[in-house]
Chain A
Amino acid sequence: GENVEQHPSTLSVQEGDSAVIKCTYSDSASNYFPWYKQELGKRPQLIIDIRSNVGEKKDQRIAVTLNKTAKHFSLHITETQPEDSAVYFCAAKAGGSYIPTFGRGTSLIVHP
């Protein structure tokens, strides 16, 4: 099955800096890569996703890039704000599977 590794497990930045979280996956046939944000005590929420036929997708201050050759995808947050502080989960859906595999999460802390 699919294996997803997410790094780093914790990321601390100053307000206004950029943050990058990277995930690698094992199944070269994976075709869907969502990212979720979970604030403390809240539910995970989908913030952006990308499909395998696209290399990059942006939504205001967040972007996701996909490198199919290297089998990794990354979340980029620019001009970070304290409200970006949360745990971020990546996921990858392997070809032939109905279920995405989640990474273990990255705790992002944005210091004012």
Chain B
Amino acid sequence: NAGVTQTPKFQVLKTGQSMTLQCAQDMNHNSMYWYRQDPGMGLRLIYYSASEGTTDKGEVPNGYNVSRLNKREFSLRLESAAPSQTSVYFCASSEGQGTYGYTFGSGTRLTVV
């Protein structure tokens, strides 16, 4: 039982490059989330998927897109990376409806130069 698996763990991009962060969970959770974490800013929600087939914007969605590929997988895409997107990205999953705790992935440290 791996929980939530995120890849890659580290990535350096040049401004304007694109990339996709992958996330998969094996707990049969309904809901999945992408957060970014910056110093002093806590955890900010980028996008979430309340259930398979649905996605919604969070607090900071600009510059990102997501795909809920199936119940297990939820990917985050940066189409044209900017230095402001330098951050640590966490994927998380939960049973759903917001009244269950999150299980987080190990994070992706992204640097955009």
Tally of contact residues, B, Cβ under 8 A:
22
A55 to chain B, nearest CB (A): 17
Say whether, besides A43-B90, A46-B101, A49-B101, A89 and B106 are in contact (CB < 8 Å): no
Say whether, besides A98-B48, A98-B50, A99-B48, A44 and B99 are in contact (CB < 8 Å): no
Instruction: Indicate if the CB atoms of B43 and A32 lie closer than 8 Å.
Output: no
Say whether, besides A31-B99, A32-B99, A93-B99, A43 and B42 are in contact (CB < 8 Å): no
- Assess whether B102 is interfacial by the CB under 8 Å rule: yes
Most buried by A among B40, B42, B50: B42
A36 to B83, CA, bound (A): 28
Counting contact residues on chain A (CB < 8 A from B), the size range is 20 to 34
With a CB–CB cut-off of 8 A, which chain B residues contact A99? 33, 45, 48, 58, 98
Q: What is the total of A-B residue contacts with beta carbons within 8 Å?
A: 47
Instruction: Indicate if the CB atoms of B48 and A102 lie closer than 8 Å.
Output: no
Chain A 97-112 per-residue mask, 1 if CB under 8 angstroms from chain B, else 0: 1111011110000000
Say whether, besides A43-B106, A45-B104, A104 and B98 are in contact (CB < 8 Å): no
Say whether, besides A43-B105, A44-B104, A98-B50, A32 and B42 are in contact (CB < 8 Å): no
A42 to B106, CA, bound (A): 7
Among A21-63, those with CB < 8 Å from B are 31-32, 34, 36, 42-46, 49, 51
Residues of B near any A CB (own CB < 8 A): 31, 33, 40-43, 45, 48, 50, 58, 90, 96-99, 101-107
